[in-house]
Each structure stands twice: as C-alpha cells, then as structure tokens.
A and B are shown apart, each in its own frame.
Chain A
Amino acid sequence: MKISSGLLTGIFVIALFILLFFTGIAYRQMQSLKASERLISHSYDVNLELVKLFSSLKDTESGQRGFMLTKDSMYFRQYISSWMAAQNSMDRLKVLVKGVKSQETTLDTLFNLITLRKSTLEISMQLADGKVIVPESVVQNMNEGSQEMEMIRTQINSMTANEKELLAIWKNTYKKDINVAPITYLIVILFAILIFIFSFYKISQDRTELQKANNDYLVMNEQLMFKNTELKKSEDRYHLMVSEVQDYAIILLNNEGIIQNWNKGAEKIMGYSEEEIIGKPISVFYSKEDIARKLPEQLLKEATINGKATHAGWRIRKDGSRFWGNVAITTLRDEDNNVIGFTKVTRDLTSQKEAEERLLEYNRSIEKKNIELLASNEEIASFNHIASHDLQEPLRKIQTFISRITRENSEHISEKGKEYFARISTSAGRMQQLIDDLITYTHTNRADKVFIRTDLNSLISSVLDEFKPTIEEKKAVIRTEHLPTLSVIPFQFEQLFTNLIDNSLKYSRQNVSPVITITSSIVDAHKVPGATLTNPKKFHRITISDNGIGFENQYADTIFTLFQRLHGKSEYSGTGIGLAICKKIVENHNGIISAESIPNEGSQFHIFIPVEV
C-alpha cells in the first residue's frame, strides 16, 4: 500500500484533531464529574451545618432556660457559646449556599427568624430578671419563642429538602457523567490505539521498504563502486596506453586548439617535452607557410564541421627539422553538442614518404629509361626500314642488271660468264633473303602485340595453303590432329608454323617423301624442359614431327640461336634466322620451344604454351 506523504500527513493531522476533540470531551466530562461531586459534598455540608445550627439554637434555648431558672452563670456562658456556635454555622452556611439563589433567599429568611428568636430569648431573660415566679409576659414571650423555633425548624427543613432536591439533580448528573465517561475514554483509548497501530504498521512498513531500499542501495552502491573502480582502472590503463604509445602522437586540444595533453609518441615525434608544450597552440608544429595560409585553423574548422579532418604534410619538430605527418583531428563534443576540444593523432610517416618519393624517383627514372628505350626502339625500327629499303635497292639493281645482260646480250657471253652471272644473282638473292628474315626477326620484337583467341586448326590450314606447291613437288604428307584454340598473336603464330613446316620440308631426306605430323596435348609443368614449377601448372604442347635428316641432339639448343646453321649453304638454303624467330615468337607467348632429334630419322619440335586459368 502506497500512501503519498502529503496524504499521510493529512490523515495524521485529522487523526490528531479527532483525538484532541475526544480528549477535550473527556476532560470536560471529568470537570463536570468533579463539579457534580463537589456539589454533592457541598450539599452534604449544607445539611450538616443546618443540623448543627438547629442544634446550637436548641442549646441557646436550653442555656437561657437554665440561667432563668438557676441564675447560674454557667448556663449563661452555655447560652453565649451556643450563640457563637450558631453564629459560626450561619457564617459557614452563608459561604456554602453562595451562588444558589433559592437557598440564599431561604437562608436570609432563616437568618431573620434566628435574629427574631435571639431577641425573643433576650426579652425573656430581661423580663424574668430578679423574679422567682415567672410572670405572664415571660410565658407569653416563651410561647412566641416556641413558635419562632417551629418556624426555624420549618425553614431548616425546607432548606434541607431544597438541598435534597439539588442533591438529586447533581447525583443524576454525576451518574450520567459517570456512565458516559468510560465510553468517552474507551473511544479515546481505542482511537489512540488505532492511530498507534496504524502508525506502527505504517512505520514498520516504511521501515521494511526503507530497509529494502537501503539494501538495494547498498548493493547498487557496491556495484557502482566496482564499476567505478573498473572504470578508473580502464581509464588509467587507457591513459597509460595513450601516454605510452610511441608511434603516434596523441594530443588533446581544447576548443581553441591549445594543447592540453601530451604522450610519449608526441614527445618522440615532435621533440617537445610535456612541460614545455602544454598550453601552446598547435600551430607550433606547422611551417611558416602553413601558418600563413592558416592551415591549422582550417583543419580545426573542418573538424568542427565534419567531425573529423585528416591531412598529410610536412610538420616542424622542436629542433626545426621537418617530418611528414599524417594527421587525423577528431572533434570532441559534450552532451549539448558544444565543441569542447579535439583529439589530434599524428603519425610520423617520413620514412614511408621518403620511400614513396624514392619509389617515385625510381619510377621516373624507369619512365625515362622507357622513353629512351622507346626512342632507341624507334631508331632501330627506322634503321630497319632504311636498311631494308636501302640495302635491298643495290641488290635488286644488281639482279635486274644481270637479268638484262643475260637476256639481251646472252650471245656475247661465254658459258663460264653466264655461270658467274648466275652465281652473282644467287648471292644477291641470298642477301636479300637475309635482310627480309632479319626484318621479320626484329618485327617479332614490336610492342604492338594483340592477343586474339585463334583456332589453330584454321591457322595451320591457311599456312599449308601457302606450301601447296612445295608439298606437291616433294609429295609430302602432312597429318594434323585437332588443335586447341589459343589466345595468340595471329600473324606471329602463322610465322611460327610457316618457319617450322618450311624447316621440315627443307631438311627432308633425299628420296624420302616428307611426312610431317602435328599433334597437341596438355602436359604438367614438370614435363616442360626449363619451365619454372611455380606458375603456370599446365601447358599446351604442340609437336611438329618430321622424318627428315634430323640433327645431333647436342645442337638441340643452339639451333634456336641467331645465324646458327648446321648445314652448308650449298646443301640447304636458309639464313639461320628462321628458328631464332620461332623462339622469339614462342617467348612472346610466355612459352618454351624445344627440339629433339635422331639424325637421319627425324626431328621433333615442341611448342609449350601456358594453359590459361
């Protein structure tokens, strides 16, 4: 049961008033009871005094009579003292009935009668003074006195009756009061008990709640203390961590950019100790130029707007040397979103920056070299062009003039001369071929290599078309398996197959029809001679086999070298460039070419091209 403290106070105030009210009633009843009691005892006193008065009056009469009869002064003294006692009682009664109107008037009447009686007694004594026989006047007087006594008695009785009536009334009131009082007290006591019980209940309840709340509070307090300790520990750890961080300068700034906090990293990077830097503005780390263009202010402004600002640039150490700082500024705000400061984390990336610059420098030098290389390549290309053109021109002319001589003047030339002219022409032709091959060879170096997915079957068949006259002439048989589709430079692969097939047709055995077989398979890298095992893992192997004159296996590598010839020029035509071109082409395709042979049985040329993943 929850009672608000206001309501509770109200209840208690009302209860207090009720209690006071009942207590008031009880008090008044008490007072009334007391009054009734007093009145009752007063009434008894009045009756007693009346009886005493009457008795005293009788005593006066008996004293008077005794004195009149004996003339003994003892009786007179009795008479006097009785009057005094009567007077006493009268005074007492006067006091006692004061305030009771009816009794007062009755008492007045009584007192008048008593005064009359006294005078009657006095007269009797004077009349009888000195006389032995009681005169008539005395008797008469005594009769009068007897009547007066009777009247006094009546008066006293009336008073007593009156007093009785009053007593009855008071007794009744008293009785009533004495009946009501316990109820009132009971009510007061019960009500007090009720309030007491309620208060006790309330207090004990509040106490329980308070106890519980107190316990809760204690537990909470303990938890809070624990958390606080943890927090403190964590904060300490954090502070320690921040202060111990060596590679980052972690600085706390106030909202005006004044340094508030400093760590080891900051000391290490910037060179200032904590004492000399705290209270300084961050602009001390910036160069004059950066300060002039208000970079520090701009960064703080940016951080204020965006919550964060980052910047990389040269900063100044205490000793004036510079370092490449990578700065991140984060804005700190309070609960009302007011900027209270900034954290500034700076990293010294000078070595990285320098490495980067070295790399840039290196790249620039490579670029320069590349440009030089390109220029020299272009020079070679133009040299090639000129060479092919200008070197071939004289040869062509030699051949043309020889052809004119042998055509137009053949009858004037001896047979020997004709043979010499033929030899000159052949030499010139060989030289022309050499130049052509060299051009082709340098051509395979050109940078404009465009790889296109090419079906090698159709590529081979177009190459074979070119050889049709030779194939027919030599009655050659060409067998081709299904070949893969590869990403290659088409004109180079055409050249490659042309050279290899040309080779096989050229170096055929006399009186043996050439048989050329072209096969294809996929092999693992470890089966490829000279291949690095790491990458790629698989290769296409295209093999061109013939049944020609072959060669000693010891020459298997040298045949791919430029101008290497194994046979005399007179036996077989050839410039010694063809296989060098083949090697270059295969290498252009990240491949490997190899050859194996058994003399007079045939040769095998293997082309290995990496399988695309």
Chain B
Amino acid sequence: MNQPPLHVLLADDDDDDRMIFKDALEEVRVKTRLTLVKDGIQLMDYLLQDDCDYPGIVFLDLNMPRKGGIECLREIRSDKRFNNISLAIYSTSASDGDIEDTFIKGANVYIRKPNDFASLVKILEDVITINWQYHNSDLNRENFVLSI
C-alpha cells in the first residue's frame, strides 16, 4: 500500500463538526491527509492560490458564513482546473430542494451528517473508497444521496 495519501478537504464553520470529522477520518482505514477551512472564502482562496495542492475530494457544508456551500459548488464546477476534484455535500439538513439544487450544480454525493460517530466513519470510508472516475459515468439521483 504505497499509494500517496488521499488529500481530503473539509469546509465547515462548526468547530465541533470539524473535530468530529477529523476524528472520524483518522479511523478510516485509508491513508488520508486533511485540510480544514472555516468558510467558502477560505476555501476559494485556498483553491485559487498558485501552486495549489488540489484535494482529491472536497466535503462542503452548505450553511457557512460569508460564502455558502452552494456558491462554492458553482464556482468550483465552472472552473476547468478543478475538473478532477470530487465534491461531497456534507450538511445537517437534507431538504428536497437542497438535494435537487446541488445535484444539478454538479455535486458528486450528498451526505447528511449522521447522529452516530460509527455511522460517520462508515460513510467516510465508503465515500473515500469509491472509484469516482468509474462512479461519475453512471451518476444518477438514486445513488446521489448516500444513506447511512
């Protein structure tokens, strides 16, 4: 297993959630390295810097101050440089409107933040181990929302 660790980025304004996510990711049996940003502005600043170390997957909270997740989603998907970045929505709520909206705007997966730590670990493991190249080709609404 000499593969380089997967670069994971989480954009979430909530300290607790960042902590829980960090802990859960450490329990995932895949080597990863994590970058944390606190809102959309920080996220876009990070991505748009020169010689940026592009993450393989970005977990995006929807409700963030200054710049929300939907806006970031739109900006990322409209820039060709970010074509290889997978986008996972990571949100407390899962309203039909949000799911529909993010699917149309090009998110790869919609994760509702689970109540249970073990569930979170399992979900992260599932998401990270998905071969996105393969998965993208038959992306549809049915498997867009990842159920616990």
| A→B interface (CB under 8 Å) | 385, 388-390, 392-393, 395-397, 399-400, 403-404, 407, 428-429, 432
CB distance from B28 to the nearest CB of A (A): 15
Q: Say whether A399 contacts B116, CB under 8 Å.
A: yes
11 contacts between A and B (CB under 8 A): A389-B92, A392-B92, A396-B92, A397-B17, A400-B114, A403-B116, A404-B23, A404-B117, A407-B118, A428-B115, A429-B115
Known contacts A389-B63, A393-B14, A400 near B93 by CB under 8 Å: no
Known contacts A385-B95, A392-B92, A396-B92, A403 near B118 by CB under 8 Å: yes
Residues of B close to A390: CB separation below 8 A: 63
Residues of A close to B115: CB separation below 8 A: 395-396, 399-400, 403, 428-429, 432
Residues of A close to B113: CB separation below 8 A: 396
CA distance A397 to B120 in the complex (A): 12
Q: Does B50 contact A (CB under 8 A)?
A: no
Known contacts A404-B117, A429-B115, A397 near B93 by CB under 8 Å: no
Residues of A close to B146: CB separation below 8 A: none
Q: Say whether B117 contacts A393, CB under 8 Å.
A: no
Residue of B nearest to A388 (CB): B93
Other-chain contact of A388, B14, B95, B118 (Cβ < 8 Å): B95
Interface string of B107-133 (1 = CB under 8 A from A): 000000111111010000000000000
CB distance from B24 to the nearest CB of A (A): 9
Residues of B close to A389: CB separation below 8 A: 63, 91-93
Q: Say whether B63 contacts A400, CB under 8 Å.
A: no
Residues of A close to B14: CB separation below 8 A: 393
Residue of B nearest to A397 (CB): B16
Q: Does B20 contact A (CB under 8 A)?
A: yes
Other-chain contact of B92, A393, A404, A428 (Cβ < 8 Å): A393
Q: Say whether B95 contacts A400, CB under 8 Å.
A: no
CA distance A397 to B113 in the complex (A): 10
Contact-size category for B: 10 to 19
CB distance from A445 to the nearest CB of B (A): 15
Q: A399-B115, A403-B117 are in contact. List 5 more A-B contacts (CB 8 A).
A: A388-B95, A396-B92, A397-B17, A400-B114, A432-B115
CA distance A6 to B117 in the complex (A): 135
CA distance A395 to B113 in the complex (A): 12
Q: Say whether A392 contacts B117, CB under 8 Å.
A: no
Residues of A close to B23: CB separation below 8 A: 404
Residues of B close to A393: CB separation below 8 A: 14, 92
Q: Say whether A407 contacts B117, CB under 8 Å.
A: yes
Q: Which of B23, B113, B115 has the most CB of A within 10 A?
A: B115
Residues of A close to B114: CB separation below 8 A: 396, 400
Nearest first, the 9 A-B pairs at minimum CB distance are A399-B115, A389-B93, A404-B117, A403-B117, A403-B116, A393-B92, A389-B92, A396-B115, A388-B93
Interface string of B20-56 (1 = CB under 8 A from A): 1001000000000000000000000000000000000
Residue of A nearest to B93 (CB): A389
CB distance from A439 to the nearest CB of B (A): 8
Residue of B nearest to A406 (CB): B117
CB distance from A150 to the nearest CB of B (A): 184
CB distance from B132 to the nearest CB of A (A): 27
CA distance A403 to B116 in the complex (A): 6
CB distance from A403 to the nearest CB of B (A): 5
CA distance A407 to B24 in the complex (A): 13
CA distance A396 to B92 in the complex (A): 8
Residue of B nearest to A429 (CB): B115
CB distance from B124 to the nearest CB of A (A): 13
CA distance A314 to B104 in the complex (A): 56
Residues of A close to B120: CB separation below 8 A: 400
CB distance from A495 to the nearest CB of B (A): 12
Known contacts A389-B63, A393-B14, A400 near B116 by CB under 8 Å: yes
Residues of B close to A404: CB separation below 8 A: 20, 23, 117
CB distance from B22 to the nearest CB of A (A): 13
Residues of A close to B93: CB separation below 8 A: 385, 388-389, 392
Residues of B close to A432: CB separation below 8 A: 115
Residues of A close to B118: CB separation below 8 A: 403, 407
Residue of B nearest to A396 (CB): B115
CA distance A7 to B7 in the complex (A): 134
CA distance A388 to B63 in the complex (A): 12
CA distance A610 to B93 in the complex (A): 36
CA distance A363 to B63 in the complex (A): 39
Q: Which of B20, B23, B114, B116 has the most CB of A within 10 A?
A: B116
CA distance A393 to B14 in the complex (A): 10
CA distance A393 to B112 in the complex (A): 11
Residues of A close to B17: CB separation below 8 A: 397
B85-115 contacts to A, CB under 8 A, are 91-93, 95, 113-115
Q: Say whether A400 contacts B117, CB under 8 Å.
A: yes
Residues of B close to A396: CB separation below 8 A: 92, 113-115
CB distance from A432 to the nearest CB of B (A): 7
Residue of A nearest to B91 (CB): A389
CA distance A388 to B94 in the complex (A): 10
Residue of B nearest to A408 (CB): B117
CB distance from A371 to the nearest CB of B (A): 22
CA distance A397 to B114 in the complex (A): 9
CA distance A400 to B92 in the complex (A): 13
CB distance from A170 to the nearest CB of B (A): 155
